[in-house]
Structure 1
Amino acid sequence: MTKRQTFDHIPRWLEELRSHADKNIVIILAGNKCDLEDQRVVPAEDAQEFAQREGLFFLETSALNATNVESAFLTVLTEIFNIVNKKNLVAGENQANGHPSSLAGKKIVIPWPAQEIPAKGKMCCSS
């Protein structure tokens, strides 16, 4: 939020990440330092628009006062859970149809109640 140059490098980093990572990778754009609103150089609308265009989750955070830090982690973990859960459902259907799958029988335990995650590209910046 406070360095335009960092924001301008995101497309290159995102391209590198996507070219070297699994296609199901979960990516969140975290606009850090939302506690320094007086030093903002990247408008929230620019970041939100970029995240939406790229299919990313977006939250504004502050490591200093912990604003949305936990939400960012929970968003990523919840989305990973949803992706794996969908794979398990497909694997179960394939196994029922006589197609064995390596994901069959996997169990995932989440120690907290399921949370509703923000839509990709939607900004969440509550304090």
Structure 2
Amino acid sequence: MADDYSYDYEYLFKIVLIGNSSVGKSNLLSRFTRDEFNLETKATIGVEFATRTIEIDGKRVKAQIWDTAGQERYRAITSAYYRGAVGALVVYDISNSESYESVSRWLKELKEHADANIVIELVGNKSDLDHLRAVPTEEARNFATENQLLFTEASALNTENVDLSFHQLLKAIYDMVSKHQFDMNDYGAGGSNSNSNKPGNGPTISLTPTPADNNKIKNSSCC
């Protein structure tokens, strides 16, 4: 069969989901990309990803969202997947103060492994557990403002602000790309023929894993 070089998008953005284990990263991903939620999910092993295409300013933008394992023992594996990311959701659980206290460490890791211009959003997940809240909204919002982060609270369980969280991140990335704050050539699909992977005549920010990278990916679900 001949290769199909048709594309249904004009921009492809790689997004990473990071944060402690059990904060609900995978359910945010599945809710946004498939409108699914699973109460009995297992911890992500390594990295998995899903995609969804949305429209921004009349352009079709495809988000390639990578869910990284939060467990310490997998961090050496997942660090390679920051390469090429133009956006990140740093997720904590509003009912778990330890997950919020770990945000600074995750931000430090982003600075060490990701592009300096990466757009970052702080997301307080499990807003449906407001009766068990351990992290005040205003405290997290002020932290986000001080660190120049986007901010939302969301619930993958009841869908509250899930779309908003991803949409505002993707819109911020799109705005930066429109202002040429990202070098498109740095985010090609890799290899000398990367231009052939660009849809139509529109610019693309994308990542295509190598076979070695694919061997590291373990498909699993996470909370």
- TM-score of the superposed pair, with normalisation by structure 1: 0.69
Secondary structure at the aligned position of 1:67 is classed as coil
Following TM superposition, by how much is the alpha carbon of 1:23 offset from its aligned partner in structure 2, in angstroms?
1.1
Q: Distance in 2 between matches of 1:15 and 1:49?
A: 18
> SS state of the match for residue 179, structure 2?
helix
- The one-letter amino acid of 1:74's match is H
Letter in 1 for 2:202: K
Distance (Å, rounded) in 2 between the aligned partners of 1:49 and 1:56: 10
1-structure distance, mates of 2:164, 2:155: 11
Task: Note the C-alpha offset of 1:18.
Answer: 1.4
Match in the other structure for 1:65: 158
Residue 202 of structure 2, aligned match among 103, 107, 124: 107
Task: Mark the runs of 5 or more structure 2 residues left unpaired by the alignment.
Answer: 1-93, 182-200, 205-223
SS in structure 2 of the partner of residue 29 of structure 1? strand
Task: Structure 1: give runs of 5+ residues left out of the alignment.
Answer: 89-105, 110-127
- Residue correspondence of structure 1 range 15-30 to structure 2 within 5 A: 15-30=108-123
Aligned Cα root-mean-square deviation (Å) = 2.1
Could you say which residue in structure 1 is the equivalent of 2:37?
A: none
Aligned-partner Cα distance in 1 for 2:125–2:202: 34
SS at structure 2 position matched to 1:6: helix
Structure 2 residue 170 is the aligned partner of structure 1 residue 77: yes
Match of 1:13, SS?
helix
CA distance in 2, matches of 1:12, 1:108: 33
Partners of 2:114 and 2:174 lie apart in 1 by 18
Change (3 A) 1:44 1:76: same
What SS does the aligned partner of 1:72 have?
A: helix
1:2 and 2:75 correspond: no
2:110 partner amino acid: L
SS at match of 1:36: helix
Distance of 2:144 and 2:160 partners within structure 1: 19
Aligned counterparts of 1:66 and 1:31: Cα–Cα separation in 2: 13
Distance 2:125 2:166 in 1: 14
Equivalence map 1:116-127=2 (5 Å): none
- The letter of the residue matching 2:118 is I
| 2-structure distance, mates of 1:87, 1:9 | 32
Secondary structure of the residue that 1:35 maps to in structure 2?
helix
Alpha-carbon distance in structure 2 between the residues aligned to 1:69 and 1:61: 6
SS in 1 for 2:144: helix
Give the number of the structure whose residues are more often helix, by fraction.
1
Deviation beyond 6 Å, 4+ runs, structure 1: none
Identity %: 42
Give the whole-Å Cα distance in 2 for the aligned partners of 1:59 and 1:108.
29
Local SS of the residue matching 1:65? coil
